Structure 1
Amino acid sequence: MTVHSRRATRVVSALSATAVAGSLALATPANAEPQSTPEATADSRIHDVQGTGRISPMDGETVTVPGVVTAKRQFGSARGFWVQDPQPDDDPRTSEALFVYNGDETPDVAVGDEVSVTGEVGEYRPQGQDSAYQSSTQLTGAEWTVASSGNELPEAARLTPDAVPETLAPEEGDLDELELRPDKYALDFWEAHEGERVSVADVPLVSRSTDYDELYVTTKPEQNRTPRGGVVYGGYDDGNTGRLKIESLIPFSERPFPTANVGDTLTGTTTGPLEYDQYGGYTMQATELGEVESGGIERETTREQRPSELSVATYNVENLSAVDEQAKFDDLAEGIVKHLRSPDVVTLEEIQDNNGADGNGDGVVAADETLDRFAEAIEAAGGPKYEYRQIDPQELTDGGQPGGNIRVGFLFDPDRVSFVDREGGDATTAVEVEQTRRGAAKLSVSPGRVDPQHEAWDDSRKPLAGEFTFRGRTVFVVANHFASKGGDEPTHGRHQPPTRSSEKQRHQQAEVVRGFVDELQQVQPNANVVVAGDLNDFQFSDTLGTLTEGGALTSLIDTLPAGEQYSYVYEGNSQVLDHILVSDSLRRVDYDVVRINAEFAEQASDHDPQIVRFRPSAGHFLDYWDWFWSRFGG
């Protein structure tokens, strides 16, 4: 999807949101025939329209306001211009600017025009009046007259490190019902400047330049910084209030949007009006855009495992299918071979079927072509000749891209580790924990899905358990991809704290996986267990708490310094979605998040892989002796 098509989809709902934002579908160009409208409220100023809260006290009224045109949007279906009053009041709660919505018509005004605008006050809220997003106060169905041109623009509010409060929002409530406290809450500060010109200078970039031509900066260079220049998200009550998204109003033919990595700097001055966007929250629409100066971060390479160490990695390969271009396979293979140093075992997430999302409901669920191509690319890159194990899902039951039939799977190096194959595993058969005649744990089927018909896995990927042997020692690996965060309310929305409705399913999924681990450890208390994958939740979440409660598993991300606890960058937050958890029977555990994707404009996946190296415990002594005697006893 191109940047312009995304910008268009953001405002499509405005064309049918009359109940939300007045006559959005009937925006009138300046040169149209006058229409019958209610008499405009006399002597209004923009700060009267904006008021001291989020919802205009003049919502639904027709007003006439004076101001200077500070910027205009000339693309997409939400064209229009921003107008700002150069004579502000002395109330810090009231914004002095508005967006004048003009539909898909380019407004016939110029920056610097002094105008008088008549229009209906409306509140545009993405996805409808009842959604959890903030609303934007604007004028619709507008007409205007130009009194003069070439006027000096109102001075932009400088966003210094101390400008935005440290606290995101009040602890509880619907922000629409509260008076603004811009001196206390960050979301109130941004709202109090809605539509106004704001500026930053020499600010750190805390995201890569996205596929939708966005940058995220922080106005607070000391707030929760990572060693590589991002800002880490460390708790629900510890939001990075200095984050600000920047887009550009400058035509790309005049100024291509910059390419940037985390840790770069946006030098010079960047200025533009502030608006609310459902994708990322408050956003500066730049009319003046600084230059990107490289911070010089490089892709990391982990150390090679020692002969006595088993290495297990996890990697979300972002909807890999056999119809992808060879370049994607090659880039992912380079990550496996060069940066992860060819792990012994890799749990893979987001493996799609052989024709990916191109075939929706066509009966194709097999992924052998996808995995064959990946294994071949790894070997061509100088890696081992990996084998793989996976189980095809039932069609259209595991979520992800429609038609992709997403699933998890294993890659493994047969020269270093053996996979214990036990037939019988399929899409609906649950793997069971059994006991060998020596008293050790084993799987009834390998690979096998963990309780795949449990309601926790409705429309979600089912975990896959595999039994491996390394130097005669058994290791159980469970590959996971928990339900996504889709449906959660935004952290920058009107409801505080936001409702995280998707958590319920992940909590259930954690209970099922934890129950399986408990069964393994009940049969064999010193079983070597690795639980890995994209759990789609934070290290401080109840999802992880369920998995780690009582010490059954250790979450390895928690062993890193706080500033290094991340594997993914979302809306400028460096945060955790991917995890490796291990049982305490593993010895000499060495763990690494290998940063090769999330912070870079060019990436093979949107997730960083991670890896653990360890020495498995001997497990059950007699099983180890049986293996030793069969191999060396003659």
Structure 2
Amino acid sequence: MALLIKEGIYAMRRCFNRWATASVAIFAVMQPAWATPFINEFHYDNVGTDTGEFIEIAGLAGTDLTGWTLQLYNGNGGALYNTFNLGGTLTDQANGFGFQTVSGPSNSIQNGAPDGIALVDNTNTVIQFLSYEGSFTATSGAASGLTSTDIGVRETSSTPVGFSLQLTGNITTDSSGNVTSDFTWAAPAAQTVGAVNTGQTFNGAGGGNAGGGNGGTDATIAAIYEIQGAGHGSTFDGQMVETSGIVTAIASNGFYVQDANGDGNDATSDAIFVFTGSTPTVAIGDDVSITGTVDEFTPGGASSGNLSITEITSPTITVASSGNPLPPAVIIGSAGRTPPTSSIDSDNFAAFNPNEDGIDFYESLEGMRVTISDAQAVAPTNNFGEIYVVADAGADATGMNDRGGITISDGDLNPERLQIDDSLLSGNSPGVQTGDGLGDVTGVIGYSFGNFELLPTEAPIVTAGGLAAETTSIPVEDDRLTVASFNVENLSAQSGADKFAALAQQIVDGLRSPDVIGLQEIQDNSGPTNDGVTDASQTYQALIDAIVALGGPQYAFADVAPADGTSGGQPGGNIRTGFLYNPDRVDLVPGSVMAVPGADTDAAFNNSRQPLVATFVFNGQEVTIVNNHFRSKGGSDPLFGSVQPPANGGEDARTAQAQFVHDFIQGLLALNPTANVIALGDLNEFAFLPPLQALAGLGLDQILTDLASLLAAEERYSFIFEGNSQLLDHIFVTDNLLSADVLFDIVHMNAEFLNAFTDHDPLLASFLLPALTVPVPPALLLLLMGLALFAALQRKRLVMVKS
């Protein structure tokens, strides 16, 4: 079970196919006289283990390739990952042209979504920069700063061994030796290494007829709903088919077509995507017949964990008529089909049951026209222009909270929420926040980044829900100690005045200036730069100054700098946990601020934040706080992915970290059963999963209580990911504090809103701690802590399975 890939999630998403704009590459457009050499043919993916990967260069006979290279680029970040060296002189093999082929070991050419190839001459000048499965901008190598040209065709994990992508068309030299061309890239066909491609001519000398790799196989006539079938994969996969329908939506590299009547079976989709590789020439409302090959395309490849999309590739298209009415849209909502509200997948794909499992429900609508009735946003528009919504303003959804979001719970990860993506609207997604209404939204059902999605064919009309940031309901009283936990998302001295002012306003006004604040994601003074700086004093001071400027207290700070580059998080930022405290209200016990002893050598904290402990005195009573930022959920499988149930990335590491902190606190309680101890922070986990059960302790071993349990289940959230409101931040307390007339609040100020300066909401707890007449001497406390640490480190702890 997994939901959140918090750190690095957006970078990781770049490795999946975004259905980027794909245009057929006609090279004569790029330059008046086409330079040679040029990339003529290549192969990078096939069924099973990739076999015989290669890149072929063609050029005028006599061209010297000494010093030329082929540079390979990873579209996930744009970096150079491999280089092939060319060399020697091209001989006349095809009417004045020659070929040179380079290859490497298996999997030496990456499988796209997207990736690219740059042809670079002996002066380090880029002659061509082509890509497949999307375009991107290179960040290193000779092509640094250049944006690739998507060739518009691709190979997949079902491409037969021995096939390749090839240029087709004609190329000639004129009387002055210039080269002109009308070449285009064709779908995978039987490879022609070292020879003229199928359907290609050089100065009139050809290589045969363009066959597209189908070998003249007769097409099977089948309706779209027969091709789709009642399941996640088509039984026609790899076969040539002939079908027909009405064009309902147009993408940059294909179009959606739907059977005009359908079969009346909710389990089978009546629509399919036709991949053309370039902007299609059909129009919405065209009645078309299509002959092509059925393909189960997996965005990002088999290792991505994504589901496959049933497509028709290498199509031949005939338009029978235009201007036809579109098939009626299926209503998602109480007036039509209601999605499951609790189960995404209950049987690991053993049975196809759209009425029970959300993953089957949306698959049964793949490619079809649908209308989400009275859609309501359950999260703000994200950085990719995506909006998560529920139908009927959430009337039939489970887990809806008072602020318009939808909260997860044990066994219910909210399959009824659906992503809206603006890819058919040229990126014109409206900016919404949680609770805003979008009315009825009509489009087609697609799939991307591990999520089914609605691709609107007309822009939604937004009605503001009027959601406002909260101010805590917890009162400020002399005998009440207030403690907050707040992830400030990569705050450094370089973050800018606006961010410091916004966070300060939330602390002063929204949280009413807590006595102690446990902060997470504090970075060093220089921010995310690998410069050896680890000190964060300027970061803390900038936040303190901003608080004072708004009338807040003159806080002091306490932290321990991590070793450079060993704390995880944004590279170079030296992310750490730390404390702000109000010295007019609490006293910091000298010498108590430290990483919990033993964490520096415990495998659970390799490349992760070590827990920070400090003891404060309030009204003569001592309170020890352990500030944590557990390992992220990076590596989790997508909820609507091919692995069910999805893996919860980093769970073993978080369990080991939680057990370590549990043992430390248990050691303190062994010597002082009434000790006031708090464990707080961004724990990157849900209360109902093993890591936090280990932290609290099970059965007779339970020593901590999660204060979120004091709230209604729907209100337990501090973060929103893919539309799911969820609680990653926690405050756990020992029994003595639990009995101190405890008050608890999650103050919703960030996660639900556009343009927030952090993605987490802060947590606030208040404890009634009247003044003691005989306070515990700090020296005695330190002695007790030392003994407890020794005892804790002797306990057998879990060893992290996965660093």
Normalised TM-score (structure 2):
0.69
**In the alignment, does 2:497 pair up with 1:326?**
yes
Percent identical among aligned pairs is 38
SS at match of 1:82: strand
SS at match of 1:93: coil
**In the alignment, does 2:357 pair up with 1:208?**
no
**In the alignment, does 2:18 pair up with 1:10?**
yes
Shift of the alpha carbon at 1:469?
1.2
Q: Distance in 1 between matches of 2:775 and 2:587?
A: 19
Corresponding residue for residue 525 of structure 1? 673
Task: Letter of the 1:509 partner, please give it.
Answer: Q
Corresponding residue for residue 512 of structure 1? 660
Shift of the alpha carbon at 1:249?
4.1
Corresponding residue for residue 52 of structure 1? 230
**In the alignment, does 2:409 pair up with 1:234?**
yes
The partner residue of 1:298 within 449, 463, 468 is: 468
Q: C-alpha deviations, 1:335-355, integer Å up to 9, x for none?
A: 111101111111111111222
Corresponding residue for residue 687 of structure 2? 539
Task: Letter of the 2:325 partner, please give it.
Answer: E
The partner residue of 2:434 within 258, 262, 265 is: 262
Say if 1:382 and 1:143 are closer, same or farther in 2 by CA, change over 3 A.
Answer: farther
Unaligned runs of 5+ in 2: 1-8, 20-111, 115-131, 134-153, 167-184, 188-198, 201-208, 781-803
Q: Is the 8 A contact 1:2 1:212 kept in 2?
A: no
Shift of the alpha carbon at 1:459?
1.7
Shift of the alpha carbon at 1:130?
4.2
Say if 1:354 and 1:142 are closer, same or farther in 2 by CA, change over 3 A.
Answer: farther
**In the alignment, does 2:244 pair up with 1:72?**
no
Q: Is the 8 A contact 1:180 1:192 kept in 2?
A: no
The partner residue of 2:270 within 96, 107, 111 is: 96
The partner residue of 2:535 within 366, 383, 393 is: 366
Say if 1:195 and 1:508 are closer, same or farther in 2 by CA, change over 3 A.
Answer: same
The partner residue of 1:123 within 296, 301, 308 is: 296
Q: Distance in 1 between matches of 2:769 and 2:775?
A: 16
Shift of the alpha carbon at 1:179?
4.7
Q: Is the 8 A contact 1:585 1:616 kept in 2?
A: no
Q: C-alpha deviations, 1:444-475, integer Å up to 9, x for none?
A: x5465662221111121111001111122211
Q: Is the 8 A contact 1:447 1:464 kept in 2?
A: yes
Shift of the alpha carbon at 1:378?
1.5
Say if 1:7 and 1:496 are closer, same or farther in 2 by CA, change over 3 A.
Answer: closer
Say if 1:510 and 1:47 are closer, same or farther in 2 by CA, change over 3 A.
Answer: same
Q: C-alpha deviations, 1:47-85, integer Å up to 9, x for none?
A: 2221222111111222232121111123xxxx2211111
Q: Distance in 1 between matches of 2:547 and 2:16?
A: 39
Q: Distance in 1 between matches of 2:245 and 2:501?
A: 55
SS at match of 1:86: coil
Q: Distance in 2 between matches of 1:89 and 1:625?
A: 78
Q: Is the 8 A contact 1:310 1:616 kept in 2?
A: yes
The partner residue of 1:197 within 356, 360, 369 is: 369
Corresponding residue for residue 144 of structure 1? 317
Bigger shift: 375-384 or 445-454? Answer: 445-454
Unaligned runs of 5+ in 1: 423-442, 628-634
1:428-507 alignment runs, 5 A limit: 443=592, 446=594, 451-507=599-655
Q: Distance in 1 between matches of 2:186 and 2:484?
A: 58
Q: Is the 8 A contact 1:446 1:467 kept in 2?
A: no
**In the alignment, does 2:661 pair up with 1:561?**
no
Bigger shift: 586-595 or 297-306? Answer: 297-306
Q: Distance in 2 between matches of 1:591 and 1:494?
A: 39
Q: Is the 8 A contact 1:72 1:82 kept in 2?
A: yes
Task: Letter of the 1:18 partner, please give it.
Answer: E
Corresponding residue for residue 407 of structure 1? 576
Q: Distance in 2 between matches of 1:35 and 1:353?
A: 60
Task: Letter of the 2:444 partner, please give it.
Answer: P
Between structures 1 and 2, the one with greater helix share:
1
Shift of the alpha carbon at 1:131?
4.0
Shift of the alpha carbon at 1:509?
0.6
SS at match of 2:696: helix
Q: Distance in 1 between matches of 2:598 and 2:585?
A: 26
Shift of the alpha carbon at 1:601?
1.5
SS at match of 1:48: helix
Say if 1:36 and 1:258 are closer, same or farther in 2 by CA, change over 3 A.
Answer: closer
Q: Distance in 2 between matches of 1:24 and 1:50?
A: 27
Bigger shift: 452-461 or 508-517? Answer: 452-461
Q: Distance in 2 between matches of 1:100 and 1:202?
A: 30
Shift of the alpha carbon at 1:181?
1.8
Shift of the alpha carbon at 1:617?
7.5
Q: Distance in 2 between matches of 1:310 and 1:299?
A: 24
SS at match of 2:388: strand
Which is bigger in relative contact order (C-alpha 8 A, separation at least 6)? 1
Q: Is the 8 A contact 1:112 1:153 kept in 2?
A: yes
Bigger shift: 156-165 or 613-622? Answer: 613-622
Corresponding residue for residue 81 of structure 1? 255
Say if 1:296 and 1:506 are closer, same or farther in 2 by CA, change over 3 A.
Answer: same
SS at match of 1:224: coil
Q: Distance in 1 between matches of 2:164 and 2:458?
A: 28
Say if 1:380 and 1:9 are closer, same or farther in 2 by CA, change over 3 A.
Answer: farther
Shift of the alpha carbon at 1:224?
1.6
SS at match of 1:516: helix
Shift of the alpha carbon at 1:553?
1.1
Q: Is the 8 A contact 1:397 1:405 kept in 2?
A: yes
Corresponding residue for residue 388 of structure 1? 557
Q: Is the 8 A contact 2:516 2:582 kept in 1?
A: yes
Q: Distance in 1 between matches of 2:778 and 2:681?
A: 32
Q: C-alpha deviations, 1:343-376, integer Å up to 9, x for none?
A: 111111111122222x1x3322222222221121
Corresponding residue for residue 766 of structure 2? 613
Pairs aligned (count): 589
Say if 1:171 and 1:257 are closer, same or farther in 2 by CA, change over 3 A.
Answer: closer
Q: Distance in 1 between matches of 2:164 and 2:255?
A: 15
SS at match of 1:377: helix
SS at match of 2:407: coil
Task: Letter of the 2:731 partner, please give it.
Answer: I
Q: Distance in 2 between matches of 1:584 and 1:610?
A: 19
Asked which structure has the greater CA Rg, the reply is: 2
Q: C-alpha deviations, 1:235-281, integer Å up to 9, x for none?
A: 1x21312111111245458xx422212122212x21111012225x1
Say if 1:24 and 1:195 are closer, same or farther in 2 by CA, change over 3 A.
Answer: farther
Q: Distance in 1 between matches of 2:702 and 2:752?
A: 32
